[in-house]
Amino acid sequence: MSQESNFSRYSNVFQTRDGSFTVVHPDCGEMFHSDAGALLEARSLYIDSSGIRDSFSDPTSKCISVADVGLGLGYNAICTVDAWLSSMGSTSLNICSLEIDAQLVSTFLSAEAPWMINWDSSWTRIIRGFYKVEDNRYELNYKIPSTTRELNWKILLGDALSLDLSMESLGYQFDYIWQDPFSPSKNPGMWSAEWFEKIKKSSSLKVKLMSYSVSGVVKNNLKEAGWQYKKIPTTSQKRNWLLAWL
């Protein structure tokens, strides 16, 4: 498929209330983000509520590893990079983005995707640094000049339920998980006990899993897979989000 037809598949952009753009999925019709704001959701749920900034500035932590479950338009991942770049610590960052949609990934990697209209040029410059390692794996390495702080960002293409997320394959375990697939009714496999069991095996003991869904089925499946959870208050119109840990 040509670059242009990739783009047109994701050209149905919609400006959310914080000014950032999201997309209506061409197949399932669900928006990638709530109308309240794509950037707002990434920053307030995943970055602020998780406390990841404290980990970035913790002098005892050398490296923080994040599972970005559903790269989508890349907001959660790029906001993680942005928070890391603006932190003062000496911590390095690993991000492992999982995405099943190959056309979406190639649109993202162009760094000229329709939803990136008003993205900061420092973000698109970073995204241009990705290179292909294998057919289903892209990678980016970035070192902050005059420091020992490094970013390793991988994108693994495929069904997250069957991707190899082992320590042997990745070289690390997840300290934070941005659990952000489409809703449990549209995308049940990604909220199943099987999935939560799998991601648990790839997580460190201090892991924090953050999610927008507080539905009963999600809580039951987390519990079945050995996770603990609690609802946390939000800074947006939605009343609660979910924090889970081991």
Ligand X SMILES: C[S@@+](CC[C@H](N)C(=O)[O-])C[C@H]1O[C@@H](n2cnc3c(N)ncnc32)[C@H](O)[C@@H]1O
**Residue ranges in contact with ligand X by CB under 6 A:** 32, 42, 70, 72-76, 98-101, 104, 159-161, 180-182, 187, 189-190
Q: How far is the CB of 216 from ligand X (least distance, A)?
A: 20
- Backbone φ and ψ of 177, nearest 5°: -130, 120
The SS3 of residue 62 is coil
Radius of gyration of the chain (CA): 17
User: Nearest distance from residue 28's CB to ligand X, in Å?
Assistant: 9
Residue number with CB closer to ligand X (108 or 149): 108
**Strand positions, DSSP E, the chain:** 13-15, 21-23, 63-69, 92-99, 131-134, 137-143, 150-157, 174-179, 203-211, 228-233, 240-245
Structure tokens at 141: 């390495």
Task: Return the number of the residue (90 or 102) whose C-beta is nearest ligand X.
Answer: 102
Nearer to ligand X, 54 or 159 (CB): 159
Closest contact distance (angstroms) between CB of 6 and ligand X is 14
Nearest to ligand X of 70, 184 (CB atom) = 70
**Spatial distance between the Cα atoms of 145 and 42, rounded to a whole number of angstroms:** 26
- Shortest Å, Cβ 15 to ligand X: 15
